[in-house]
Amino acid sequence: MADSLRFFVIGCGSIGRRHIANLQTLGVKEIVASDVHEERREGTREEFNITVVEDLNEGWEHNPEVAVITTPTNLHVPLALEAAKKSCHLFIEKPLGAGTTGIQELLDAVKEHHLISLVGCNMRFHFGPATIKHLLDKGAVGKVIGALIDAGSYLPDWHPWEDYRQTYSANESMGGGVVLDGIHEIDYARWLLGEIDTVYAQGGKLSSLSIDTEDTVDIVMKTVAGANISIHMDYVQRSSSRTCKIIGEDGTVLWDIACGEVKVFSPSSDSWETFSPPSDYSTNQMFLDEMAHFLRCLEGAEQSVQDIQEAAQVLDIALAIKESMTSGQRKVLAR
């Protein structure tokens, strides 16, 4: 069973600790963790009563079978490659990387060692996008013509206990910026509406935030099937916003994370049908469901919803968006 495997969590920031907590909730007993920051190591050791090390080599000495990589983005691929060469199955937080360097070598290592991989795509497990996916798959709005997606929140509010200027989100060298941070929206747009054909983007650092990454981007994408997708993302909005509207020939789907509901309009009945999450639904549920899915993948019961190969395709879209934002040119994606 997957819960008897040895896990090595590399990175004890907020998402790393969340995954440790969820692994323990799901019955995983053997977890070793590592972080370069002493305060995080001590806090993680005390909170979860697990072995926490500073040196990666000490972590590898525990012979883990699964690596959970929750470091800044620029370290994802190098650490994943190191783990893959040690025959560790891989859970990697989004995005897969900050660029294309090392990805082919990682893909080759995963194939050579027959490894299971999942790259963090927790919004696919959120009640909102998951319900939209179900509705679209059953043809609730007919042929999809377009989508309007918005996601924004004020970066200094993300982790009020730390200086936002020191986080990876604020630093280009660490793989930050709203495009890679907001790759969830890019990923679930592709998941809902199909393969992306072209992208065009405008944006940059438009606010007075003390960061060296883009804080705002507006993206227009066209799917291979011909639907238009418009995505706005930023580090600025107060209050925060996360919404999605899907426009079809036979209806419209709306989702707003603030209220949690998904609504679908049917012209035949001239009315809206509302789908509500369970009354006890919490933000952590999608992360818990995501990790439970990964454990089932390790057991061979399910196929990964986003392995490294697919995550590399999503990263290609994000990098094309960044290139378009810089060049001002529409990008055609190679397929």
pLDDT digits (tens, 9 = 90+) for 46-105: 999 999 999 999 999 999 999 999 999 999 999 999 999 999 999 999 999 999 999 999
225-256 residue pLDDT tens: 999 999 999 999 999 999 999 999 999 999 99
Average pLDDT, the chain: 97
Domain range 123-279+313-332, CATH class: alpha beta
201 and 100 in contact (C-beta within 8 Å)? no
162-204 residue pLDDT tens: 999 999 999 999 999 999 999 999 999 999 999 999 999 999 9
pLDDT of residue 130: 98
Helix (H), strand (E) at residue 294: helix 284-299
254-267 residue pLDDT tens: 999 999 999 999 99
111-168 residue pLDDT tens: 999 999 999 999 999 999 999 999 999 999 999 999 999 999 999 999 999 999 999 9
Mean pLDDT of 21-35: 97
The H-assigned helical ranges of 113-177 are: 127-137
Query: What's the CA gap between 317 and 139, in Å, rounded?
Result: 26
Map out the domains of the chain as residue ranges.
2-121+289-305, 123-279+313-332
92-110 residue pLDDT tens: 999 999 999 999 999 999 9
- The reported pTM is 0.96
142 and 224 in contact (C-beta within 8 Å)? no
Shortest CA distance to 122 belongs to which of 302, 313, 261, 289? 289
At 284, the pLDDT band (50, 70, 90 cuts) reads very high
Q: Which CATH architecture has domain 2-121+289-305?
A: 3-Layer(aba) Sandwich (3.40)
Residue 334 has pLDDT above 80, yes or no: no
pLDDT of residue 2: 83
